[in-house]
Structure 1
């Protein structure tokens, strides 16, 4: 039998316990040390930097948040978060 030891991506502790499943079917884990949740094999970013820049340029061209949601299929809350973080100004994801 092979034992795989998982580490918390936040605090690097090995005190992880299974904690249900994500909507996409991936296993979720809870860290007993820092009390934060994580998923197995998380995707680093849902949108590429180029895609984010394209959406934020459309927003700067006076497109509404609802219009961006319909056109690009991205959540309004996601765009709001990008605007608040200033991702479009620095060009960094």
Structure 2
């Protein structure tokens, strides 16, 4: 709250482990999906080795399809590959 972040961002962060919360935005579900993708790609440190599963009901609620998730995964893989190339060139 001291950073004056928008409520949607705060809810996305606070509620991403419970994407079926009473949030009126898709932010918790989007962060939930991003968290799973990042954990699967070993980006960052979630504090454990667990990769959660997608909450199917939350995905349906916000019309997030597996096509959208697969496209997001492909984009993330491209970004990770680009960063690995940049790190190797340094």
TM bucket by the smaller chain?
Answer: under 0.3
TM-score (ref. length: structure 1): 0.26
Structure with max Cα Rg: 1
TM-score (ref. length: structure 2): 0.27
Structure 1 or 2: more helix by fraction: 2
Structure 1 or 2: more strand by fraction: 1
Larger RCO (CA within 8 A; separation ≥ 6)? 2
